[in-house]
Amino acid sequence: MSDYQITIRVKNQRLIDLMDQAGIPSVAELSRQSQLNQMALGRIANLKTGAFSAKGEVLSSVSTLCEFFGCIPEDLFPAEVLYQGLNTNNIVLELSYQEIQNQVLESDLNPENLVSLVKDAEFLESLMSSRLSDRENRVVRSRFVDEKTLAAIGNEHDISKERVRQILAKSLRKMRKPLRFCSDKDNKAGLDWESRYANGLDEMKSLG
């Protein structure tokens, strides 16, 4: 018998951070300023939608929000939900005190098992080397590994911030493309290629 019930609600921290930086206190105010309806914003805030359609196109609401904040979809969404939102952002756990210690306080949880992370930096390194030009590779690393701003990257390469955004968008499209072709052998081995791409950027930061 469990003694405790824990409810975890997952929110889009990237959107919250952008709102904080812009001095926007609520989704209602963001709706007013961006001219996006609150329902669409609510789905983004609760990670109920990804950034891309099934055809790989940026959703119109996401495009509008990116234009408003001056960012790209990868800045607005966690990598794990770029293509598909969560079925639910509420997780209810019934646990004993010992289970709370073991499963919550001493472990990493993510949505829908709290979006299981499969980090694979070697996979991403291979993908970048085979798919990107030298400049694209440097720009992607500057943005996602060194976490430099678009303006800083533009200054380094003597190009505009908008050009940096275009290079990033093109590079990420090129890197996604092969992930849609995963062999039966890989599937049987339990390899989640989409997750490996999504989380490789995080792992690369720790490797420098």
What's the mean pLDDT in 20-28?
A: 92
Q: Label residue 51 by pLDDT band (50, 70, 90).
A: very high
Specify the pLDDT at position 100: 62
Query: Is 195's pLDDT higher than 70?
Result: no
Mean pLDDT of 64-69: 95
Higher-confidence residue of 86 and 31: namely 31
Would the pLDDT of 191 be above 60? no
Per-residue pLDDT at 56? 87
* Residue 24 vs residue 196, higher pLDDT: 24
CATH topology for the 121-207 domain: Arc Repressor Mutant, subunit A (1.10.10)
Tokens of 13: 């921290």
Residues present in the chain in total: 208
Higher model confidence: residue 117 or residue 166? 166
DSSP 28-52: HHHHHHH---HHHHHHHHTT-S-SB
Interval 119-139 mean pLDDT:
73
DSSP 8: E
Residue spans of the domains in the chain: they are: 1-116, 121-207
Q: State residue 137's pLDDT score.
A: 87
Weakest-pLDDT range from 42-46, 94-98, 111-115, 201-205: 111-115
Long-range contacts at 89-92 (CB < 8 A, ≥ 24 apart): 89/9, 89/10, 89/11, 89/46, 89/47, 89/48, 90/7, 90/8, 90/9, 90/10, 91/7, 91/8, 91/9, 91/10, 92/5, 92/6, 92/7, 92/8
**pLDDT at res. 203:** 43
pLDDT of residue 158: 92
- Strands 4-9 and 90-95, bridge-based pairing: antiparallel
36 — pLDDT class (breaks 50, 70, 90): very high
Residue with more model confidence, 137 or 4: 137
Percent of the chain topping pLDDT 90:
33
Q: Which two tokens stand for residue 168?
A: 């990033």
- Residue 93's DSSP bridge partners are 6
Assign 3-class secondary structure to 76-100.
HCCHHHCCCCCCCCEEEEEECHHHH
Instruction: Pick the closest to residue 56 from 140, 185, 180 (CA basis).
Output: 180
pLDDT score recorded for residue 171: 84
For the cut 70, the answer to whether the pLDDT of residue 27 exceeds it is yes
